[in-house]
Amino acid sequence: MTLIKSISGIRGTIGGQVGENLTPIDAVKFAAAYGHWIKQQRNKKNYRVVVGRDARISGKMIQNLVMNTLVGQGIHVINLGLSTTPTVEVAVPMEHADGGIILTASHNPKQWNALKLLNEKGEFLDAVEGAKILEIAESNSINFADVDSLGKITKNDAYIDLHIIEVLDLPLVTVKPIEQAKFRVVVDGVNSTGGIAIPLLLERLGVDVIKIHCEPNGHFPHNPEPLKEHLTDLSEAVKKYKADFGIVVDPDVDRLAFMDENGEMFGEEYTLVACADYVLSKTPGNTVSNMSSTRALRDVTQKYGGAYEASAVGEVNVVKLMKKNKVVIGGEGNGGIIYPESHYGRDALVGVALFLSLLADKNISVSQLRKTYPNYFMSKKKIELTPDLDVDAILKEIENKYQNEQLTTIDGVKIDFLDNWVHLRKSNTEPIIRIYTEAKTQAQADELADRFIGELKAIANS
């Protein structure tokens, strides 16, 4: 069982020992640290924090602990109840709140939960802010309010609807053509809040929706990471109901993947590629994704005369570079769409609306659409090293060896060759180097990964 404290929040498994798992005491401790940090940010009388959760079995318990901790600090809480990560992100500025907390462990299994922390813009905290909260949590400096100054909790169930309205109002979301196309779509909501939000959005767009695993009870019917091997039910349903395509999201609805009309994966990496293709065709500009995302986004961006740049892995790093480069769309290859016209956070609702607008615009099937994009294949492997080895030194040797190639070293070492690339990253918690590769065929991607595993082992053993 595990408790992971990082700059992006705290996540862990429910139950077990305090300090080693996400126990009630740990939830209170880190909620209190966040509340203390919120009150440090500005000198004001009233503080407000938006709190929402996915449908995990532990969600209600953790949310009540978090909300009442904030109340004990004199902070008013807007309780969204069952919600999505992007919905909470949208709600924070709408409420003129000082921050937000989402109770979700994203794609992790049901025994996990987490506190994801937002600033007053509804965006994830940066490294400096996250480190400060971890520091506060280990200090004895947290103060609580007296009995006459306690906060209060206000329930607001409207925000999924408000979020949908915000998506439908986006200029590039073409509601009428989507309605006229009369799409039939199967939705796999992995028995979490995507089973609420995605069908509601589709129904507002005139889509014929078939729901599977859309009961928000937290009993995930399959591994909640939206990968091909977990989605046999969706594939069978798409074919059975002769749907135009299938949609699957992760439990907190910030990752999005599609399945074509034949029950085949569109490719999670290509969710962003397709949405960017549509946005760039209407509003040419620049794009950003992280270093481990497909090169196809670069190709599509350059087709429209824009510039592409890769950030370090991590949503906060993607957003920072997106703002710097004034991009029109960006995100991550794990199905995370970040569309600044809406907000700076991964949002499956925005992704669904843009994808439907693209299909209505092109009037082709999803399988035909996929054939219009460059074909790349990825391999994701890792090498475990003994704890005494200096991982940084090993990566430095690789960097020196390939110094005449196109190198990026802002997050491990990425080497861009002419027809493929390799990205080597060390784990922050284990003596592991992760190896990501992409090439024109799966065999070439696997071969490139195996080659670098061999080179890393040779350096480690030298």
SS3 readout for the chain: CCEEEECCEEEEEECCCECCEECHHHHHHHHHHHHHHHHHHCCCCCEEEEEEECCCCCHHHHHHHHHHHHHHCCEEEEEEEECCHHHHHHHHHHCCCCEEEEECCCCCCCCEEEEEEECCCCCECCHHHHHHHHHHHCCCCCCCCCHHHCCCEEECCCHHHHHHHHHHCCCCCCHHHHHHHCCEEEEECCCCCHHHHHHHHHHHCCCEEEEECCCCCCCCCCCCCCCHHHCHHHHHHHHHCCCCEEEEECCCCCCEEEECCCCCECCCHHHHHHHHHHHHHHCCCCEEEECCCCCHHHHHHHHCCCCEEEECCCHHHHHHHHHHHCCCEEEECCCEEECCCCCCCCCHHHHHHHHHHHHHHHCCCHHHHHHCCCCCEEEEEEEECCCCCCHHHHHHHHHHHCCCCEEECCCCEEEECCCCEEEEEECCCCCEEEEEEEECCHHHHHHHHHHHHHHHHHHHHC
pLDDT of residue 42: 80
**Domain extents for the chain?**
3-157, 163-371, 377-461
Helix axes 442-461, 391-401, angle to 10 degrees: 120
Q: Percent of the chain scored above 90 by pLDDT?
A: 90
Residue 392, pLDDT > 70, answer yes
Cβ neighbours of residue 80 closer than 8 Å, sequence gap 6 or more:
50, 51, 52, 53, 87, 88, 91, 156, 157, 159
What residues form DSSP beta bridges with 48?
Answer: 76
Tell me the pLDDT tens digit for each residue of 118-170.
999 999 999 899 999 999 999 988 999 999 999 999 999 999 999 999 999 99
pLDDT of residue 247: 98
Domains 3-157 and 377-461 belong to one CATH topology: no
Tokens 């999201």, located at residue: 249
Give the model's confidence band at 98: pLDDT under 50 very low, under 70 low, under 90 confident, else very high.
very high
379 is an active site residue: no
Give the amino acid at 330: G
Residue 348, pLDDT > 90, answer yes
Instruction: Work out the average pLDDT over 247-265.
Output: 97
Instruction: Work out the average pLDDT over 285-289.
Output: 98
Q: Are 178 and 356 in contact (CB under 8 A)?
A: yes
Q: Which of 58, 106, 293, 342 is catalytic?
A: 106
Q: Percent of the chain scored above 70 by pLDDT?
A: 98
pLDDT of residue 8: 67
pLDDT of residue 138: 92
Q: Are 298 and 191 in contact (CB under 8 A)?
A: no
Note the CATH architecture for domain 377-461.
Answer: 2-Layer Sandwich (3.30)
CA–CA gap between residue 323 and residue 328 (Å, rounded) = 10
Give the model's confidence band at 7: pLDDT under 50 very low, under 70 low, under 90 confident, else very high.
low
Fold of 3-157: Alpha-D-Glucose-1,6-Bisphosphate; Chain A, domain 3 (3.40.120)
Tell me the pLDDT tens digit for each residue of 32-68.
999 999 999 988 889 999 999 999 999 999 999 999 9
CA–CA gap between residue 41 and residue 50 (Å, rounded) = 16
Other Cβ atoms closer than 10 A to 262: 12
Q: Computed from CA positions of residues 230, 233, 234, 236, in that sequence, does the dihedral angle turn out positive or negative?
A: positive
Please determine, looking at this structure, whether the domain spanning 163-371 carries the CATH number 3.40.50.12780: no
Q: Computed from CA positions of residues 325, 326, 329, 332, in that sequence, does the dihedral angle turn out positive or negative?
A: positive
Lowest mean pLDDT among 158-162, 196-200, 221-225, 300-304: 221-225
pLDDT of residue 362: 97
pLDDT of residue 1: 53
Instruction: Work out the average pLDDT over 382-406.
Output: 91
Q: Are 15 and 1 in contact (CB under 8 A)?
A: yes
State residue 177 phi and psi, 5-degree precision: -60, -35
Instruction: Work out the average pLDDT over 271-278.
Output: 98
Lowest mean pLDDT among 169-178, 289-298, 348-357, 427-436: 427-436
Burial class for 392, CB neighbours closer than 10 Å (0-12, 13-18, 19+): exposed
- Report the chain's mean pLDDT, rounded to a whole number: 95
pLDDT of residue 385: 82
